[in-house]
Chains A and B, each alone.
Chain A
Amino acid sequence: MLNQMILIMQKAPAIKNINRILLIIGALALLVVVKVPMWRIDLNAPQYPEGLRLFIYPDHLGGNVAIVNGLNHYIGMKPLHTADFFEFTILPGIIIAFAVLFISTALIGKRWMLTSLLVLFVIFGVVAMVDFWRWEYNYGHNLNPDAPIVVPGMAYQPPLIGFKQLLNFGAYSVPALGGFLFLGVGILLLTVNILEYKIKRRFKAIVNKPTVAVPLAIVVLLSSCNTSTTPVLLGKDNCSYCKMPFGDSRFGAELITSKGKIYKFDDAHCLKSFISESGKATNNSKIYFVDFSGNHSFIEAPQALYLKSAAFRTPMNGNIAAFQSKDSLRIAKQKFGGTQVKWDEIK
């Protein structure tokens, strides 16, 4: 049985030479990753024109860690220390191990090694991102209740990737050089795998059309920019106009620009103010309201029906609720009173 397995493995298809070279290049890139920052979180605020930066290296935290910790004490966030994260002790080792695996795959040259390597790499990437998100959640939510500045319902979880406003700071989380290299190596590994197998011809034909590849890349890789509505997360999302966290999602609205940027509002008043003041809403923007009734799904603004009543006591006194159907509006009117208004009167 064992003999037969070895025979199969020895007879297994070998990797082409060009791909072996690519694997070596990948290994070298991974060795660079060990030494450079993998991820960065930029913090911008009006009184920090120079900007603040946090760099996450494979083995330590860099950048303005001390300044950020100083600011974070106001909101009761635990200070960041390299020693508190066990990941920093094992990450360099894992990356070097991958580099070694790349080199051995290149030298031994068996195709199945290539595929296993890809699977391992992707799993590692996913686990790393999930772990990162978990730490961000932990630090953003477990705040000291005795902190000087307490904003009810507010959490300070930085974005996993992309932009998020946290009080007066805009937090912007993106890969750094190491992260891009790691990603590049992953794409390289994927490409090598594809080139090895027969499906390469068909795949190449598709992939050579940028119109397919580009949106594919965008949709797959970007989690914070998409063109459909995303649910409002109570206590986590902030109104894009007034910056306060969502305490009640029933009066919410979303504006999605033609570029796919989503703005969330906790009150029709905020939406209206945002439209008139920010200059970011155009005729191509799509506006949605949360259905006050039913399962609170989103309705397109021009299609929705609106009831205005002081009894709603919305967060910003806009006092407008949106409804999917005439019946649900009528039922609400019986309960809350008020008058029906049109979309044109609101916007």
Chain B
Amino acid sequence: MVALITTAFLSGIYSCKPKNTADAVSGDAAQKVYVGPGKYDEFYDFVSGGFNGQVSVYGIPSGRLLKLIPVFSVFPENGYGYSEETKPMLQTSHGSVPWDDLHHLEFSQTNGEIDGRWLFANGNNTPRIARIDLTTFKTAEIIELPNSAGNHSSPFITENTEYVVAGTRFAVPMDNDNGDVPINTYRKNFKASISFISVDKNDGHMKIAFQLRVPPIDFDLSHGGKGKSHDWFFFSCYNTEQANTLLEVNASQRDKDFILAVNWKKLEEYAKEGKGKKENVEYAHNVYDENTHSATSTIEKEVNVLDSKDLKDVCYFIPCPKSPHGCDVDPSGEYIVGSGKLAALIPVFSFDKIQKAIADKNFIGYYDGIPVIKYEAALYGEVKKPGLGPLHTEFDGRGNAITTMFVSSEIVRWNIKSLKIIDRQPTFYSPGHLSIPGGDTRKPNGKYVIVYNKITKDRYLPTGPELAQAAQLFDITGDKMKLLLDFPTIGEPHYGQAVEASLLRDKSVKFFDINKNTNPYVTKGEGDAKVVRNGKRVDVYITQIRSHFVPDNIEGIKMGDEVYWHVTNLEQDWDVPHGFAIKGVPNVAELLVMPGETQTLAWNPEKPGMYPFYCTDFCSALHQEMQGYVRVSPANSNVALTFSTGKNTPDSASTPPLLIQ
């Protein structure tokens, strides 16, 4: 009897416990994501690596990792940042910085559609913007940003790639002002900057056209307007409390922060009219030339600055709830969605209403000289109680938006016009960003959404305390979003940009034409290979072709020499790179030289002896035989400088023993 009562009690209690939602994957998910051997994926997905300073490229829908592109971090795998030609890429006004925090990516666009030319990436730590060439999948240019710290709200573009825009996360004293001030003079001495970088239509070369100086608040994310809002740019901002310590609490106090609307077209006119002030600064500008296969680094000395305080009709603040993060513009260019990460709703602003509010001067006041538009005057409507912790929004091209909810660990699909929630799906776990191919352009491809989750825990086999982050692929063609695939990602994806494979596939360079190689140290044929001494400097002009080096026996190098190995890969075929490494070279990695390319490795031998070198990338059946020796003699020796391949044979007295039968 007692047992009966207790059982009843227990079952009563336990029936109150809610069941966990099982993560059900629909039955045909495997078929939808399986890309058979020899078949290609439908989409390229370029994903930022965050703290690894790289970009990873995945195939969608298979989730297969196709490539890791080094951008801001040295890459020993192929010598990026180690070869003489690529070292200048990582130069800054502070010296060589071998790493950065790559948060966001943006494809170049023409008329609001992805054009497949370039991919822009931001360096958050030592403010820089990189441009990646999508035909070679290599970093082609890096430009540093003066007067900046925490390059977070970047690299977002105007819809015709007129400008790449970069806003700062950390307000700091400007480069020309005294930075040695007490930290709590933040509100007086610190300022924020938004840089407008122009992009040359033909070769993509970047230049800082002008900078906008703004109040010391933190700029988080931004997007350019489209169509009717083409002339405008929108930035989410937080820390309008202007706190400099314990931001966790002090920057979360105000009920509303802002979205800053900038009329960049007007700003551009003012810059042309000379309304800006030229400031003396120093910032590096590094360009990689695919003909010389080398980078050059220049220090620029000047920047044109316009102050928001002086320009009355360029900047406007729109109140946005609670530390907004995402600031996304819908494909029509009419709706601007703010995602307040501590807010319990998603505000949607109307561009037409904003314009009207500006015309009617419907302001509630001024913040540091910039007019603040009345919230209700700019607001189209609010999506009520979508979930907890909205972060990013993208659009499916069918009038809907999908937003990630970090705290409640889900994605929520809602209709923009009706502001009604259509569907919600749990993600595992805590999503940050999501990307729909073309989801931030005028023409989204609403087939898939890829969600990038920050917390992985039990999703894959455990790998010690440091786990990969997770990505999930959903099919969004139907009424309900369907989970198809779950795959781990490299580094920390903050942002992804996916594009139809057909746009890039056929433009992909297979090898470099050796006849177009204008590297000053190129060796165009084995007959031109040589070793040349100029005092203490020795230049080795060495070639690679399956399966030997010319020269592969070098003698006469002396202690104290600065030796430069200029390695040219003479192949003119698809997928035949050669590697190059010498035993025991401090601070230098290998080189991976593509067909038709020349790359240089610098070596100061630290003791006399014999140093083998060899090809490190499996190139042929006789790859293991692709090697050479270099002899280093003491400084005062008189060993002659000789180099050859196949000639330096041992004398007949030292023939190896035959097998005696």
A residues bordering B, Cβ < 8 Å?
44-47, 49-50, 146-151, 161-163, 167-168, 170, 172, 174, 180, 183-184, 187-188, 191, 207-208, 210, 213-214, 217-218, 221-222, 224-225, 242-244, 259, 261, 315-317
Contact = CB atoms under 8 A, between A and B. Distances in A.
B6 interface: yes
Contacts of B9: 217-218, 221-222
B458 A163 contact: no
Contacts of A221: 9, 12
Contact of B8 (A46, A187, A217, A242): A217
Nearest to A73: B248
Contacts of A168: 388, 407-409
Contact of B17 (A151, A172, A213): A172
A170 to B, nearest CB: 6
Contacts of B252: 148-150
A148 B5 CA distance: 46
Interface string B433-477: 000000000000000000000010110000000000000000000
B6 A184 contact: yes
B429 interface: yes
Contacts of B385: 242-244, 316
A162 B15 CA distance: 9
Contacts of B65: none
Given A46-B428, A221-B9, A317-B384, 6 more contacts: A149-B342, A170-B18, A187-B6, A213-B8, A222-B9, A243-B388
Contact of A163 (B5, B18, B249, B457): B18
B5 A217 contact: yes
Contacts of B408: 46, 168
A217 B2 CA distance: 10
B411 to A, nearest CB: 12
Given A187-B2, A214-B8, A162 B13 contact: yes
List 7 A-B pairs, minimum CB-CB distance, nearest first.
Answer: A46-B409, A47-B429, A242-B385, A214-B8, A217-B5, A148-B252, A47-B430
B457 A225 contact: no
Given A170-B18, A316-B385, A213 B253 contact: no
A224 B426 CA distance: 27
B606 to A, nearest CB: 50
B20 interface: yes
Contacts of A207: 1
Contact of A188 (B2, B12, B429): B2
B1 A261 contact: no
Nearest to A217: B5
- Interface size range of chain B in the complex: 20 to 34
B16 A162 contact: yes
Contacts of B407: 167-168
A147 B249 contact: yes
B660 interface: no
A208 B1 contact: yes
B167 to A, nearest CB: 23
Contacts of A315: 384
10 contacts: A49-B428, A49-B429, A146-B253, A184-B6, A187-B6, A210-B1, A213-B1, A217-B5, A218-B12, A315-B384
Could you say which of B20, B384, B429 has the most chain A C-beta atoms within 10 Å of its C-beta?
B384
A204 B275 CA distance: 98
B410 interface: yes
A46 to B, nearest CB: 3
B5 A151 contact: no
Contacts of A191: 2
Contact of B457 (A50, A148, A180): A50
A213 B4 CA distance: 8
Nearest to A213: B5
A44 B5 CA distance: 28
A210 to B, nearest CB: 5
B387 to A, nearest CB: 9
Contact of A49 (B4, B16, B248, B457): B457
A116 B252 CA distance: 57
A214 B4 contact: yes
Contacts of A184: 2, 6
Contact of B13 (A188, A213, A222): A222
B16 A163 contact: yes
B344 interface: yes
A225 B12 contact: yes
A58 B48 CA distance: 51
A49 B458 contact: yes
A162 B14 CA distance: 8
B114 to A, nearest CB: 33
Interface string B233-269: 0000000000000001100110000000000000000
A255 to B, nearest CB: 15
A261 B12 CA distance: 11
A218 B9 CA distance: 6
Contacts of B388: 167-168, 243
Contacts of B384: 242, 315-317
Contacts of B17: 163, 172
Contact of A161 (B1, B13, B20, B455): B13
A92 B384 CA distance: 49
B20 A44 contact: yes
B457 to A, nearest CB: 6
Contacts of B16: 162-163, 222, 224-225, 261
Contacts of B344: 151, 244
Nearest to B407: A168
B414 to A, nearest CB: 13
A285 B457 CA distance: 38
A170 B457 CA distance: 19
Contacts of A214: 4-5, 8
Contacts of A259: 15
A306 B429 CA distance: 42
A152 B20 CA distance: 28
Could you say which of A46, A168, A207 has the most chain B C-beta atoms within 10 Å of its C-beta?
A46
Contacts of B253: 146
Interface in B1-40: 1-2, 4-6, 8-9, 12-13, 15-18, 20
Nearest to B5: A217
B385 to A, nearest CB: 4
Could you say which of A147, A148, A150 has the most chain B C-beta atoms within 10 Å of its C-beta?
A148
A213 to B, nearest CB: 6
A46 B18 CA distance: 13
B20 A50 contact: no
Interface string B559-574: 0000000000000000
